[in-house]
Structures are given as structure tokens and as C-alpha cells.
Structure 1
Amino acid sequence: MRSITARMFVTLDGVVQGLGRTDEDTRDGFAYGGWGPAYNDEVMGRELGKGMAKPGDMLFGRRTWEDFISAWGRRTDGNPFTAKMNAATKYVVSRSLADASAWENSVLLRGDAVETVAKLKAEPGNDLSINGSAALVRSLHAAGLIDHYTLLIHPLTLGTGARLFDGPAPLTRFDLTGSVTTPKGVIIAHYSRH
């Protein structure tokens, strides 16, 4: 059975929307896009690199997958993250996507997220990681399918925006398995299901 790790960039007040760019996700009038890059530093890069160095496949919701195509899928910059993202098998969960041919090594999981991901998780294969895709994370968490979280907790509050757990989340206990604080104040916390 595969394990699933969700890697989420989050503010102190739980916002996960619009991390990278001002135009990344403006749904519901969100005006604070691009809040994350000011906190990038060498320690964060090194810690993210450790996760990317492990063998594994990636799991996306449709919206994040489409955003990542433009952010990563067309780059030719020699960045090791770019090479890893493009080479990895990428599963995209969607009810509306016609096919997944827009980004190499992508596989469409059509249908209900919980059902299709539970089936994929039960099959032999590489472990799965989710980067972003908050709606997917929320539904998989509610179904008990998330095994690990890596939360990159940024030292700011936004007061508005989509949160990691908008609404009730079921009682789930996790153990802290490691943490690192970056020079810019981001706490990178690793949790595993208890």
C-alpha cells in the first residue's frame, strides 16, 4: 500500500491560497496572492530538496495541476525541482478534465477523488505526495487517506483566503516527527498519522 504525504505552505491563520504569484488564485476576491516567495531561503530549499529526492509519484487536483503546468511543465532552466517534477508520474484527479496529455507523465484519475485515490493508494507502487491542491487534501483527510503532512508555516496572517481546513475536519491525531525553522521564520513541521 502506498502512503500519501501532503506538503502545504500555510500562514499562521491557516491560509493556503495564492502562495506563489499575485494572479495565482484570485477566487472570492483574494488580493494577497504571492505571499510566499519573500520567505524562501537556502534552508527551505534544502528541506524541500530532501522531500523531492525521495522516490515517489505526485497527486494533484485539476486546478493545481493546470497551474503547475505553466509554472513547471514548460521550464528548461536546469533547476533540479523542474527535472523532478517533469520526470515524476503525476496523477491528476478530476471529474471534468478530458485528458492529462498537457503535461508529460500525467495520468488522469477520473471520478470521485476519495474513491479513485483510495483505489490508487491500495495498489502497489511509489508513495504519493500532494503539493497544494487544498480541496483535494481536505477531502482525502476527511476520508482518512492522508498519512503524513509537511506544513511550511509562514510567520504572517492574512485574515482572508481559503484555509487548509475550511469547515470541520474529523478528529485525527498526528505525531510530530521532525521540524526545522528557517532563518526567515518559517517552521517546517513533519507530522505522521498517530
Structure 2
Amino acid sequence: MTDEDALTIDDEIVARARIHAREVLASHDLEIDRDALEWDVSTRARRRAGACRWDADREAATIVLTRAAYRRYDWETFAGVVRHELVHAWEFQRFGESGHGPRFRERAAELEAPRHCESFSDPRYVLRCRDDDCNWEARRHRASKPVKAPDRYRCGACGGAYEVEHAASGRTWTTASEFGGVKSALGAEW
């Protein structure tokens, strides 16, 4: 893909999102100052399909949409991401803060926006509880501290020990030294 192609895709994403936002705002009682609403596209995000950043000094919200999610989702799913981020923009502009609490849930329901957006990429690592009676599992895209040293952390549900799986290879580890061993063994496949 050339830089020119990327610009065209990013322009398409922003144009479609702005059109959809204009339609949503026209048909719902969601007062957003569109002059204080900016748009951007992320090429780096791996988990989140969108984000809304608030610049309190300028009182401007920036909705950042992810190119990879745009490619992976159908339009209706991606439009849900746009509506989700519009609710954040509305909260920031109106209250100076935003979250996923009751106020957000109420407005998101009115706009038929998902409370959380489904993942558009497969995780690189999967953490699983080793206790036979526990089904706890967590997915990670980056080698965080719990991924690198699982023996220092505990299961999110029962408090038991867990193991980490490198999703692409199926290799697992339960300690920091095993993490290093798997990483070294996989080499370029890591």
C-alpha cells in the first residue's frame, strides 16, 4: 500500500464518519458542537476501534477511528463505533469527563451504540487460569508485566495461578524465565 492509498482510505473513513455523525445528530437529541469536534485515524491501534480524546484547554473533542477496524468490520458495526465515540464527545463537551457509566449507557442506548466495541484483531497472548474449576481467561495484545512474569500475578476470578499462551504458536509459560525461553525459541516467529 502506498502513502497515497493510505490517505485515500483515511479520508474515506473520516468522510463516512462525519456524514454518519451528521445524520445521527440530526435525528437524535444529542447536542454536540461540531466546530469543537475533530476527527483522526489511527494506524497503530490494535485493540480499540475508536477513541475520543478531550483537550480541556481548547474544549475540543477528537474522535480517533482505527483503520484496521474499518477494514475488518462491516459498515453497520463501524457506524456503531462512530455513535459510541459521539456519546463520549457529547459527555466531554457537556460535562468535561466521560466514561461508560449510567449516563453513557442511557445515551448509547438511545443511539443504538454499543457500550463496548468488539475486538477487531486476534490477541497475541491468552492468559488462562490453571485451576480446573475456573474458566477465567484474559486476552492481551502486548507483552505486559503479567504476560512476561505470570508467576507474580493471580487469576482475575479465583486468585489461582495462571499460564500464558503465545496464541500464534500455542507455546505456554508460567514464569518469567519460561517467557524468556519461549521468546528465544520462537525467534523470528515471536
TM over 0.5: no
Report 1 or 2 for greater relative contact order, CA contacts < 8 Å, sequence distance ≥ 6: 1
Structure in which a larger fraction of residues adopt helix: 2
User: TM-score, length-normalised on structure 1?
Assistant: 0.25
TM-score scaled by length of structure 2? 0.26
